[in-house]
Amino acid sequence: MNKEQGAAYINAQVASALCELASMQAANHLANTQETCAPYTEQDFINIPNRFGIHHNAILTFFQGCD
């Protein structure tokens, strides 16, 4: 995979992560308006970059393998 393909892949992962984050925020907001427990905790939000492989070290490692 060349650097342009790598950047496209990472951008796709970021877009997916943002969609999931928005969904989690909406679920928590709905729970707050209904005065129920939020389904997602702070740790759930913190874990998103790791789940999608888009944390700092993952990105650096990814690009070390690109042509």
For the segment 28-65, what is each residue's pLDDT rounded down to a tens digit?
999 999 999 999 999 999 999 999 999 999 999 888 87
String of b and e for 18-40 (b: at least 16 CB within 10 Å)? eeeeeebeeebeeeeeeeeeeee
Mean predicted confidence (pLDDT) in 11-33: 98
Report which residue type is found at 24. M
Instruction: For residue 3, give the 3-state DSSP assignment.
Output: helix
Q: How far is Cα 29 from Cα 36, in angstroms, rounded to an integer?
A: 10
Predicted TM-score (pTM) of this structure: 0.87
Mean predicted confidence (pLDDT) in 11-34: 98
| pLDDT at residue 54 in the model | 95
